[in-house]
Chains A and B, each alone.
Chain A
């Protein structure tokens, strides 16, 4: 996309209103380019990728946190992974897919691969930190009660790490949903389609509608995971433990996080 071509836009706030009108127009709610189909595509690739990322990252994070082996290497690797631009990850996946098999390149595989890779670092780091921050006295006490390493992991460390594991998943979900919006740039589908097509067709209202849908989806995912974290977090009984696990008044930006 060169700079020279004329594009829609420029100083008209009414276009935002047009965008909302585009959204409620019943014509846009049916057919293969309809809102339900695009939303479903977006949700599908995001959910598959999030599940895969969690399946890979959580066990590795648990293992590193529990054994405290390979911490430095993993944290560094996750840091490097975090710093690669999401557009670059998606393009590499697409290029690889085209090279391997052109038919695969235009389906789910490349975008799911890219989104999975994107989700792994933040889940991994948060799982690892969640396990590793469990009080050593607590673990010592569990060991004193005769628990095995596996029991300590399953009954003490994992429950206490749940809030952070879910934080990792929440951040990953938001990043994945944001990046799924870029899929349309690589001849893909999902909600980014409206933004890319809006440019091609010179329809600003379509662009705005796509942007609203992506933003709403990301916010909903964030809210869903916040709620899940509240429900699943362990209820700590002792005052002392609760104080330790309470959100401190102010935290630095979460581990492994990047804006997308």
Chain B
């Protein structure tokens, strides 16, 4: 492998980083990989949120839910996605499931953790006051606890989203890697254009997604900014 690679390198040393014609020629593929990358990321975060959220609300009230989840998550966090994907190949083949299982399970664990930490962080006095004002349990959850937990929940969404974008690139191993597919193609063929395209697009996507979630957090928690201003003013 290395010998052959070096031989190829003899010719590719002066290869330009980008051949713009490649991009125009492969525009359709770039577009479809972009759709794949965005779709896998959004779906895995959304599905994980739908599963993790009710569990976190439950765990906020019934503490016995926590130890088993912590136990599972501490092990699962540690196993690299590359290994999970490789281990799933014999079972689920090169299907979407092979990518979806690690993506969704990592995200469930991140989102459960952050949602619960956010809910746990709500001041008992605030809840007391809300109950005193006559809020029902449901109203308390939706109008007080969830909004106050929002910064920590969104922090979790940021981690989950950014992680997923990175993990999707690794799924290039089984042909479902979004922009990662171009990186792998570049590494395999010693052809820098797809490699650079894959790197630039995946990094840009990760940064953009993170930025969008920061903006979303600002919009979702306007009082945080107001409190900041007040703190400075006094």
Residues of A within 8 A of B (CB): 1-3, 7-16, 19, 79-80, 82-88, 91-92, 94-95, 98-99, 102, 105-106, 174, 177-178, 181-182, 185-187, 192, 195, 198-199, 204, 207-208, 210-212, 214-215, 218-219, 222, 248-253, 257-260
Inter-chain contacts of B77 with A (CB < 8 A)? 174, 259
A253 near B113: Cβ-Cβ < 8 Å: yes
Contact of A85 among B152, B159, B165, B192 (CB under 8 A): B165
- Interface residue tally for chain B (C-beta within 8 Å): 70
Contact of A1 among B9, B114, B172 (CB under 8 A): B172
B159 near A257: Cβ-Cβ < 8 Å: yes
A9 near B162: Cβ-Cβ < 8 Å: no
List 20 A-B residue pairs with CB atoms under 8 Å apart, sorted by A's residue number.
Answer: A1-B185, A8-B89, A15-B91, A85-B166, A85-B202, A88-B199, A94-B187, A98-B9, A204-B90, A210-B86, A215-B87, A218-B78, A219-B75, A219-B78, A250-B117, A252-B118, A253-B159, A258-B159, A258-B163, A259-B77
Inter-chain contacts of B1 with A (CB < 8 A)? 187
Residue of A nearest to B4 (CB): A187
Interface of A is mostly: helix
B166 near A260: Cβ-Cβ < 8 Å: yes
Inter-chain contacts of A88 with B (CB < 8 A)? 166, 169, 183, 198-199, 202-203
Inter-chain contacts of B78 with A (CB < 8 A)? 174, 215, 218-219, 222
Q: Give chain B nearest CB distance to A179 CB in angstroms.
A: 8
Interface of B is mostly: helix
- B42 lies within 8 A of chain A by Cβ: no
Which residues of chain B in 159-193 are interfacial with respect to chain A, using CB atoms and an 8 Å cutoff? 159, 162-163, 165-167, 169-170, 172-175, 180-181, 183-188, 190, 192
B66 near A250: Cβ-Cβ < 8 Å: yes
Residue of A nearest to B164 (CB): A259
Q: Give chain A nearest CB distance to B7 CB in angstroms.
A: 11
Q: Given the complex of chains A and B, what is the CA–CA distance between A229 and B190 in angstroms?
A: 43
Contact of A16 among B87, B120, B167, B195 (CB under 8 A): B87
B195 near A95: Cβ-Cβ < 8 Å: yes
Q: Given the complex of chains A and B, what is the CA–CA distance between A3 and B33 in angstroms?
A: 12
Q: Given the complex of chains A and B, what is the CA–CA distance between A15 and B93 in angstroms?
A: 11
A106 near B6: Cβ-Cβ < 8 Å: yes
Residue of A nearest to B208 (CB): A83
Inter-chain contacts of B75 with A (CB < 8 A)? 219
A181 near B93: Cβ-Cβ < 8 Å: no
B180 near A85: Cβ-Cβ < 8 Å: yes
Residue of B nearest to A13 (CB): B91
A187 near B2: Cβ-Cβ < 8 Å: yes
A91 near B175: Cβ-Cβ < 8 Å: no
Asked whether A3 and B175 contact (CB < 8 A) given A181-B80, A219-B75, the answer is: yes
Q: Give chain B nearest CB distance to A77 CB in angstroms.
A: 12
Contact of B81 among A10, A19, A82, A260 (CB under 8 A): A260
A83 near B82: Cβ-Cβ < 8 Å: no
Inter-chain contacts of A105 with B (CB < 8 A)? 9
Contact of A211 among B82, B184, B190 (CB under 8 A): B82
Inter-chain contacts of A82 with B (CB < 8 A)? 162
Asked whether A91 and B187 contact (CB < 8 A) given A199-B173, A250-B120, A259-B106, the answer is: yes
Inter-chain contacts of A251 with B (CB < 8 A)? 113, 117
B207 near A80: Cβ-Cβ < 8 Å: yes
Q: Give chain B nearest CB distance to A145 CB in angstroms.
A: 32
Q: Which of B9, B81, B87, B186 has the most CB of A within 10 A?
A: B87
Which residues of chain B in 1-45 are interfacial with respect to chain A, using CB atoms and an 8 Å cutoff? 1-2, 5-6, 9, 12-13, 17
Inter-chain contacts of B187 with A (CB < 8 A)? 91, 94, 185-187
